[in-house]
Amino acid sequence: MTLPLLHPLTADAKRRHGREPVVLLHRLAETGLFTDEALARLIDRHPRELIDVLTMKRNPPPDERWIAGEAKGMSGKDLMEAVRRGRLWLNLRRAMSADVEYRAVFEPLLAEFAKETRSTILSAVGGILISSPRCGIFYHCDPTETMLWHVRGKKTIYLYPPDDTHLPEQAYEAAILKETLNDLPYRPEFEAGAKPVVLEPGMAATWPLHGPHRVVNHDSLNVSVTIEYSTARSKLANGVFFTNGVLRRKLGLNPRSRTVPTVLKPAYWLASKLLQRLVPLPDAPRNHVRAFDVDLKAPDCIAWRPGLEPAEPMDRAA
Ligand SMILES: [Fe+2]
pLDDT in tens, 227-249: 999 999 999 999 999 999 999 98
- For ligand 1, the distance from its centroid to the CA atom of residue 232, given in whole angstroms, is 20
- For ligand 1, the distance from its centroid to the CA atom of residue 56, given in whole angstroms, is 16
Q: What is the pLDDT of residue 2?
A: 80
Q: What are phi and psi of 259, to 5 degrees?
A: -100, 5
- For ligand 1, the distance from its centroid to the CA atom of residue 289, given in whole angstroms, is 22
Q: What is the pLDDT of residue 228?
A: 98
The helix or strand, by DSSP H or E, that contains position 313, with its residue range, turns out to be none
| Largest Cα span, the chain | 60
Q: Give, rounded to a whole angstrom, the gap between the first and last alpha carbons of the chain.
A: 39
Q: What is the pLDDT of residue 286?
A: 66
What's the sign of the alpha-carbon dihedral 20, 121, 102, 86?
Answer: negative
- For ligand 1, the distance from its centroid to the CA atom of residue 206, given in whole angstroms, is 11
Q: What is the pLDDT of residue 181?
A: 73
Q: How many helices (H) and strands (E) does the chain have?
A: 8, 14
Q: What is the pLDDT of residue 285?
A: 62
Tell me how far the alpha carbon of residue 141 is from its chain's centroid.
8
Q: What is the pLDDT of residue 287?
A: 66
Q: What are phi and psi of 205, to 5 degrees?
A: -120, 135
Contacts 24+ apart (CB under 8 A), 296-299: 296/78, 296/81, 296/82, 296/85
- For ligand 1, the distance from its centroid to the CA atom of residue 226, given in whole angstroms, is 8
Q: Which CATH class is domain 11-231+288-304?
A: mainly beta
8 A C-beta contact, residue 93 and residue 316: no
What residue ranges of the chain have pLDDT lower than 50? 317-318
- For ligand 1, the distance from its centroid to the CA atom of residue 183, given in whole angstroms, is 10
